């Protein structure tokens, strides 16, 4: 097993592919990837279309689209509007609007831990219509989807698997699509709070701050699942490991006799990651690395994602209508 | 239909009975009520045991026990401990500990509206065990119930009836008891945040701040339901109506010719309430009357109720154990 | 003393004038008032220019401008933008931009009581520049004011008069203008969270939810004070009193013999208010009447007011610049 | 300059001394240190009594007392009570009760960044008496200090140095003692949220999460300053550096030829720290490492510290009294 196919500490397909590239496995069968830039926003399409690609990246087969700009972290209203637009467009393509008539939105994560609270915060801003569809004016009713939304909480607080809660609700209200929002973990600092990943391959709650749980996808829930995620943390072991890579490179560059550092560098990545992780445990087991301004950024991201969802799932409403209803 | 059996603006059986008493219907068939005082706490038992009693009070058949002291609103640790003890004792009797082995706790209400956030706040402090029962030491496992907890949100945010969400989850995890916590509406200012009502007759989510919804009880959910509620608001029309009663009494007392006030007073209570309500609508429709210190008091009440539940449902654990686990 | 000059339960000059009008004292010397409507927003100018006007309204001499629309309570981005623009324009006229070079913003009120937290929430969104003025690009520095901002807290939490704290800070940093933001009390339900009042006559912290304290004005602080306020609550006694007025009118209209109601109505307003207040005390002393959606509306109002202040005090920056800096 | 006297990444005198010990400078003149254990709590006294000691540790001359137990992070009420008692006892000795009659408490830090919000949260729970001293019963008045409390905010939000705000308030209300609470940075993960340091040597606001500012001490403010701090974060560079130390030790232990690792280890600590810091900047500049449960732990620490302060500054009141007043 290649070290790259094992234990890649990222929820972003984008980063999983980058790791492959650095290992010159770039032309691997089973993965397609392309990037374009629009209004200063980088949009990356990754498609994993067979088991080979899935194994190499550690990600399920499916489409992964990221909308990325470090400017999301700032407070520029124009950037915000552009990101909402790109995110809504991407979602629309994944959702194929007007095909799904009954949509359930699930905001995963722990609302009491700021970097994990993105999902619940998005849910609070969704334009739900399931309970008022009968009362909407006929002229717009036709094209408005029936939308419900739930923040199921995390297993540490509920004692119940997120998948069990959602599956119970799905059996009651019979949606034909689930859109799940969750905080993710990234490998690179520079991606924290600056990437929105959307995919049609399902989601494993708690990949970011929490622990891996039962995957939510068509197989487990019986309906298609669109996942939306933003990396909000980097785990402590990843931080140390990546910094060590850079340190060794710097040291080797500065040293006459490079053999020492080359040898050190030659230690298998996975072996080193495990060593670091063991050393940091138990001290750092429950630690995460997050930016100071996390509270404000999570609020803004919740605004962006909820707006994009509202636009994508209610194509008959314009943004002004939506704001009037929420 | 007597005016008393119609539209009584209270969720407290205690207050529904008081209204009857003032109308001298005190010896009505179908209701038993008694009060005792312990450590400065007033404990009132009301039992409504047939349809006559139910009609007179507007409450379903069942037991209603209130633990009441205005001192809950303060911050005295001794009072808090006493209230926790009485509440836990009362719950234990209603729950009949060790009979139920799988308990679901539901914190009803809207976490984004402070006086309606009691339920979700209690849930966050419940000692859930369902997901870790296998890992508990054998010595204590035997007597520890499997407990799960959920804050399902309100229909305005989820688009789904609370009853549908709970019923979906119940079918998945098969608990044998539901304990539901909700904020209530009281008729009297003096009772706001100073009474904890427990009953075995089910609950209608949103009686307090929200609107009436599908009742949660054995009939609708298939399992027994223990309801725990605290009145956290008084509605604006009730406030005006009750104050007018007092004003008329004062005016009559101060006036030589009482006939005017007696006539005014003679207007049917219900007619007057309806008049007031109409006048206040639409201005006051979404208004509520609540004390300034509501944020702090709701936190304390959530502490008290979650502690009492933890003690009552985990009889094998002492309070110290519980604090270590939460 | 006329009943109107005593104990008018409103912080809005607008409402104080309305009360006069109903008493047909409309042409009183010392008060000028005019109203215009722009983009669905009602803008009312009240000027109280001598002691007669001040006594009649219970307000200090000065200009009082209100920007009013019930739509502020909704979530329409166009309305929000219009209200920000009108508020910024009004503030600009009161502030006379570029005259003041060192501005202190004070967000009054208790951040732990939602309807009283407007001031602290505005302060968190102000573009403060005092500490970074040296680092701004020269091209914009010239026209950017030095701005500092403080949320001094309330006396119940600090043990210090707000006036003392501000006066101590003013002596240290020597601003030439204070802008103070506070929650107010209104007389009418319909005005809650739908009016922004700006005035140049100073402010008494705690008029809304708290108790009256030392006035903040040029006399007490040595620098001009612009006050910005929004009524966020109605007190319980006002609610009852105003509802009774309407009830009596309805009853009289419906009755053949109007004499009873006319007599009841003839009881002096102040006498009745005092009676009501006495009856409600102590139950309602610490109660207030507020809308359910108060948390969300206060956030929106803080956004509107902070934006308007940022635009008015930094005339050299456009809204885009401001958002990039905050 | 020794590497130890430069740039030690800790606010804890305890850790500064440990670094010295590892360097065998243990018998340095100018520092005394002793440790005792009581009820599972480790209490360490460090006294730095001259310039030599101050240079070696990078800390000002003064007494530094730490109350330490990892159990603070848990939720055991007995542990909480013990920590409150030890903290109150330590404070009492530093404060010399009954000597100071007018005390100002300052909660430093940014309330909008959870790990930096300890100070403002403590202030909200202090029993302030300055504004009600006249109204206290005579029997207790004599021994109750006049206490005021303020959360001055951080310079990024106020535009004003914390020292300027406090100095302005001190000139107005003339306290004879300042007690300042702030979040700190630690060097070791294991100390996060498990140590309370008290000292009489003043404090530099923003040492923890923010940036170093004007020191608050007797020299700058004119009155004695007691500082209370808890390390709530570790900076990213410290995390990497310390982990690398452990990695190198492990690698050397596991390797036959130790020369490589010994050489790597021999790189000066400061040189390596600087290298790491440079590599992490700008990515990690605004990042911090903090535990998941930070919200709940900060609440508990605020409870503990406010209780300890209330007991230490109001020796005439027992804990029950204090709870009744707050």
Give the residues across from D180 on adjacent strands. Answer: D106, D227
Length of chain C as a residue count: 326
Q: What is the pLDDT of residue D179?
A: 97
- Residue partners of B162: CB distance under 8 A and separation at least 6: B106, B108, B152, B153, B154, B155, B205, B206, B213, B214, B216
Crossing angle for the helix pair B77-95 and B294-313, nearest 10 degrees?
50
Which of B22-31, B49-58, D28-37, D59-68 is predicted with the least confidence, judged by mean pLDDT?
A: B22-31
Which of A175-189, B9-23, B116-130, C36-50 is predicted with the least confidence, judged by mean pLDDT?
A: B9-23
**Chain D: closest CA distance from residue A4 (Å):** 22
Say how far apart CA D279 and CA D273 lie, in whole Å: 10
Does A227 or D265 have the greater pLDDT score? Answer: A227
Res. B5: pLDDT tops 50: no
Asked if the Cβ–Cβ distance from C74 to A319 is below 8 Å, we say no
Q: What is the pLDDT of residue B8?
A: 45
Res. C1: pLDDT tops 50: no
Does A45 or B14 have the greater pLDDT score? Answer: A45
Q: What is the pLDDT of residue B302?
A: 96
Out of A75, A78, A320, whose CB is closest to C77? A320
Out of C250, C275, C293, whose CB is closest to B286? C293
Residues from chain C contacting residue D206 (CB–CB below 8 Å): none
**pLDDT tens by residue, C178-202:** 999 999 888 777 888 999 999 999 9
Tell me how far apart the terminal alpha carbons of chain C are, to the nearest angstrom: 50
pLDDT band for position C133 (cuts 50, 70, 90): confident
Q: What is the pLDDT of residue C98?
A: 62
CA-based torsion, A190, A196, A200, A205: positive or negative: positive
Helix (H, G, I), strand (E, B) or coil at B273: helix
Does A97 or D184 have the greater pLDDT score? Answer: D184
Res. D309: pLDDT tops 60: yes
Asked if the Cβ–Cβ distance from C112 to B296 is below 8 Å, we say yes
Residues from chain D contacting residue B75 (CB–CB below 8 Å): 323-324, 326
Gyration radius of chain A's alpha carbons: 21
Q: What is the pLDDT of residue A188?
A: 77
Residues from chain B contacting residue C209 (CB–CB below 8 Å): 292
Say how far apart CA C85 and CA C310 lie, in whole Å: 11
Number of H helices, E strands in chain A: 13, 9
Q: Average pLDDT, stretch B74-81?
A: 84
Q: Average pLDDT, stretch B150-158?
A: 93
Does the predicted TM-score (pTM) go above 0.80?
yes
Asked if the Cβ–Cβ distance from A283 to D246 is below 8 Å, we say no
Does B48 or B251 have the greater pLDDT score? Answer: B48
Asked, as a colleague might, if the bond just before C156 is cis with ω within 30 of 0, I would say no
**pLDDT tens by residue, C284-316:** 556 778 887 788 889 999 999 999 999 999 877
Which of C39-48, D249-258, D295-304 is predicted with the least confidence, judged by mean pLDDT?
A: D249-258
C323, C325, C326, best to mutate vs chain A, most A CBs in 10 Å: C323
Nearest CA in chain B to A169: B168
Res. D27: pLDDT tops 80: no
**Chain D: closest CA distance from residue A286 (Å):** 5
Q: Average pLDDT, stretch B15-38?
A: 74
Q: What is the pLDDT of residue B210?
A: 44
Does A241 or C24 have the greater pLDDT score? Answer: A241
Say how far apart CA D157 and CA B181 lie, in whole Å: 39
Q: Average pLDDT, stretch A279-292?
A: 68
Q: What is the pLDDT of residue C76?
A: 80
Q: Average pLDDT, stretch A102-107?
A: 96
ipTM exceeding 0.90?
Answer: no
Residues from chain A contacting residue C319 (CB–CB below 8 Å): 77
Which of A145-149, B173-177, C96-100, C127-131 is predicted with the least confidence, judged by mean pLDDT?
A: C96-100
SS3 readout for D251-289: HHHHCCCCHHHHHHHHCCHHHHHHHHHHHHCCCCCCEEE
How many CA atoms does the CB half-sphere of A115 hold within 13 Å?
A: 34
Contact A235, A288 (CB under 8 A): yes
Residues from chain D contacting residue C146 (CB–CB below 8 Å): 159
Length of chain A as a residue count: 326
C109, C158, C164, best to mutate vs chain D, most D CBs in 10 Å: C158
Out of C236, C243, C267, whose CB is closest to B280? C243
Residues from chain A contacting residue B147 (CB–CB below 8 Å): 159
pLDDT band for position D97 (cuts 50, 70, 90): low
> For chain D, how are helix, strand and coil distributed in percent, rounded to 5?
45, 20, 35
**Chain D: closest CA distance from residue C171 (Å):** 7
**Chain D: closest CA distance from residue A5 (Å):** 24
Out of C124, C159, C170, whose CB is closest to D157? C124
Contact D231, D185 (CB under 8 A): yes
Out of D149, D158, D169, whose CB is closest to C128? D158
Q: Average pLDDT, stretch C150-156?
A: 93
Please give the mean pLDDT across all residues of chain D: 80
C109 φ/ψ sector (left φ>0, alpha ψ -120 to 50, else beta): left
Chain A residues with CB-CB distance to B under 8 A?
112, 123-124, 128-132, 146-153, 155-161, 164-165, 167-173
**Chain A: closest CA distance from residue B136 (Å):** 14
**pLDDT tens by residue, D111-157:** 988 889 999 999 999 999 998 876 666 655 666 789 999 999 999 89
Tell me how far apart the terminal alpha carbons of chain A are, to the nearest angstrom: 50
Residues from chain B contacting residue C289 (CB–CB below 8 Å): 236, 239, 284, 287-289
Say how far apart CA C196 and CA C209 lie, in whole Å: 16
Contact B301, B71 (CB under 8 A): no
- CA distance readout (Å), D204 to D60, D108, D161: 11, 10, 11
Helix (H, G, I), strand (E, B) or coil at A242: helix
Residues from chain B contacting residue D125 (CB–CB below 8 Å): none
Asked if the Cβ–Cβ distance from A247 to D286 is below 8 Å, we say no
Contact B292, B74 (CB under 8 A): no
**Chain C: closest CA distance from residue B53 (Å):** 30
Res. D207: pLDDT tops 60: no
pLDDT band for position C21 (cuts 50, 70, 90): low
The two beta strands, C225-235 and C287-291, are antiparallel
Which helix (DSSP H) or strand (DSSP E) does residue A13 occupy? helix A13-22
Say how far apart CA B260 and CA B238 lie, in whole Å: 23
Q: What is the pLDDT of residue B153?
A: 94
Q: What is the pLDDT of residue D25?
A: 57
**Chain D: closest CA distance from residue B325 (Å):** 8
**pLDDT tens by residue, B272-315:** 666 666 666 655 556 778 887 788 889 999 999 999 999 999 87
Q: What is the pLDDT of residue D213?
A: 65
Q: Average pLDDT, stretch B71-84?
A: 86
Res. C63: pLDDT tops 90: yes
pLDDT band for position C269 (cuts 50, 70, 90): low
pLDDT band for position D264 (cuts 50, 70, 90): low
Q: What is the pLDDT of residue B150?
A: 97
Contact A21, A56 (CB under 8 A): no
Res. A237: pLDDT tops 70: yes
Out of D192, D250, D290, whose CB is closest to A288? D290
Phi, psi of A84 (to 5 degrees): -60, -45
Does D14 or C61 have the greater pLDDT score? Answer: C61
Out of A78, A320, A326, whose CB is closest to C78? A320
B111, B159, B172, B175, best to mutate vs chain A, most A CBs in 10 Å: B159
Residues from chain A contacting residue C76 (CB–CB below 8 Å): 320, 323-324
Give me the helices (H) in C5-76, please: 13-22, 51-57
Nearest CA in chain D to A249: D279
Out of B76, B320, B324, whose CB is closest to D324? B76
C192 φ/ψ sector (left φ>0, alpha ψ -120 to 50, else beta): beta
Q: What is the pLDDT of residue D282?
A: 55
Say how far apart CA C45 and CA C41 lie, in whole Å: 13
Say how far apart CA A59 and CA C5 lie, in whole Å: 74
Res. D1: pLDDT tops 90: no
Torsion angle of C-alpha atoms D160, D161, D164, D170, degrees rounded to 10 = 100
Please give the mean pLDDT across all residues of chain B: 80
Counting other chains too, the contacts that D280-283 makes at CB distance below 8 Å and 24 or more residues apart are: D280/A189, D280/A243, D280/D236, D280/D237, D280/D240, D283/A188, D283/A189, D283/A190
Residues from chain C contacting residue A78 (CB–CB below 8 Å): 320
Characterize D221-237 residue by residue with b for buried, 16 or more Cβ atoms within 10 angstroms of its Cβ, and e for exposed: bebbbbbbbbbbbbbbb
**Chain A: closest CA distance from residue B197 (Å):** 24
Chain A residues with CB-CB distance to C under 8 A?
74-78, 319-320, 323-324, 326
Residues from chain B contacting residue C234 (CB–CB below 8 Å): 287
pLDDT band for position A46 (cuts 50, 70, 90): very high
pLDDT band for position B188 (cuts 50, 70, 90): confident
Q: What is the pLDDT of residue C288?
A: 77
Nearest CA in chain A to D290: A287
Q: Which of C133, C222, C220 is nearest to C175 (CA)?
A: C222
Asked if the Cβ–Cβ distance from B320 to D75 is below 8 Å, we say no
B35 φ/ψ sector (left φ>0, alpha ψ -120 to 50, else beta): beta
Say how far apart CA D305 and CA B166 lie, in whole Å: 41
Q: Where are the beta strands (DSSP E) in B75-141?
A: 102-107
């Amino acid at each position: 097993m290649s070290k790259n196919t094992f234990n890649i500490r990222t929820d972003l397909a984008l980063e999983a592919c980058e790791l492959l590239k650095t290992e010159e496995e770039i032309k691997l069968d089973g993965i397609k990837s392309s990037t374009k830039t629009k209004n200063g926003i980088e949009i990356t399409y990754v498609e994993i279309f067979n088991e080979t690609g899935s194994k190499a990246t550690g990600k399920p087969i499916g489409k992964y689209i990221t909308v990325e700009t470090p400017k999301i972290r700032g407070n520029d209203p124009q950037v915000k509007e552009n990101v909402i637009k790109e995110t809504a467009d991407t979602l629309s393509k994944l959702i194929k609007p007007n095909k799904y008539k009954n949509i359930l939105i699930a905001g995963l994560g722990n609302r009491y831990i700021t970097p994990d609270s993105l999902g619940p915060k998005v849910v609070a801003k969704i334009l739900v219509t399931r309970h008022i569809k009968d009362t909407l004016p006929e002229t717009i009713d036709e094209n408005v989807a029936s939308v419900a939304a739930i923040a199921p909480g995390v297993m540490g607080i509920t004692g119940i698997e997120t998948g069990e809660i959602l599956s119970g609700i799905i059996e009651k209200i019979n949606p034909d699509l689930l859109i799940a929002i969750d905080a993710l973990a990234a490998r690179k600092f520079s991606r924290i709070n600056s990437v929105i990943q959307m995919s049609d391959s399902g989601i494993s709650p708690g990949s970011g701050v929490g622990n891996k749980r039962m995957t939510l996808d068509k197989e487990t829930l019986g309906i298609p699942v669109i996942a939306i995620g933003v990396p909000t943390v980097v785990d402590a072991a990843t931080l140390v490991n990546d910094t060590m890579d850079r340190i060794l490179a710097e040291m080797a560059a500065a040293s006459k006799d490079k053999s020492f550092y080359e040898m050190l560098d030659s230690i298998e990545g996975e072996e080193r990651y495990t060593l670091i992780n063991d050393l940091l445990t138990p001290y750092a087991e429950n630690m995460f690395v997050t930016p100071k301004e996390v509270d404000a950024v999570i609020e803004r991201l919740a605004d962006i994602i909820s707006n994009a969802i509202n636009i994508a799932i209610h194509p008959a409403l314009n943004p002004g209508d939506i704001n009037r209803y929420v």
